[in-house]
Amino acid sequence: MPISLITGATAGIGSAFARRLAADGFSLVITARDADRLEKCARDLRLRYGVGVEVLPADLATEHGLESVERRLRKDVDLLVNNAGFGLHGTFPESPIEDELRMLRVHCEAVLRLTHAALPGMLARGRGGVVNVSSVAGFFPTGTYSATKAYVTSFSESVAQGLGDSPVRVMALCPGFVRTEFHQRATLDVSGIPGFMWLSADRVVDEAMRDLAHGLRVSIPSKRYKALTALGRSIPAKLVRRVGQAVGVRR
């Protein structure tokens, strides 16, 4: 039975990945900061899908947390989903530097280190994959959150390019607005975002798994966001900033 490790697995896109992969017959290793919430998620997944679920509490903003997940990845994981992440209330440099550094570590250092820990075993076995959850925000310079997600996308594309014709796949998943608790946790005002811009987490994951199977290096769920990011890649920087502001959130 294949094994998937999912970071940030207790809510939103991470939880949707856990449900989808359990339904597909994966055993799971789920990780997040809240041990009690992890245990509850594990019980629900075991009961509903009859799969093995290993719980690994870890704060990826800490060295101890990163090292514990790295050690697990060096064993027998077939699919890594780097999903853990968060937003900040306030713009740079208004937000505390400690919060900015924490976001940088979770979004960038953790993605790099966990991918680095997982790939050697996958390459040795000749199978496996890594999904790094990025964001459409990475195509629009609207703050340090978008800057970290631009890194995740570029990093994933670069690693995938380096793997060449290997059967092991690395993909950046770049969703737009998804109905999760992400914005509420960051106290971001999304009241001005029109309904048609929102996606469900389950839809995002379904499209991601399809795109991974097809060997895509960047997955952008829905036609509307594919069009929006194509626009962001082709128009002048000044217009990109205006589009970013138009689809942004109030803090």
pTM, to two decimals: 0.88
How many C-beta neighbours within 10 Å does residue 75 have? 12
Look at residue 241 and give its three-state secondary structure: helix
Class of domain 3-246: alpha beta
Chain centre to alpha carbon of residue 180:
13
Q: List the chain pLDDT tens, one digit each, 251 residues.
A: 899 999 999 999 999 999 999 999 999 999 999 999 999 999 999 999 999 999 999 999 999 999 999 999 999 999 999 999 998 877 888 889 999 999 999 999 999 999 999 999 999 999 999 999 999 999 988 789 999 999 999 999 999 999 999 999 999 999 988 866 554 554 455 555 656 576 999 999 999 999 999 999 999 998 988 988 887 666 555 555 555 555 444 44
Exposure letters 2-33 (e unless 16+ CB within 10 A, then b): ebbbbbbbbbbbbbbbbbbbbeeebbbbbbbb
Residues with catalytic roles: 145
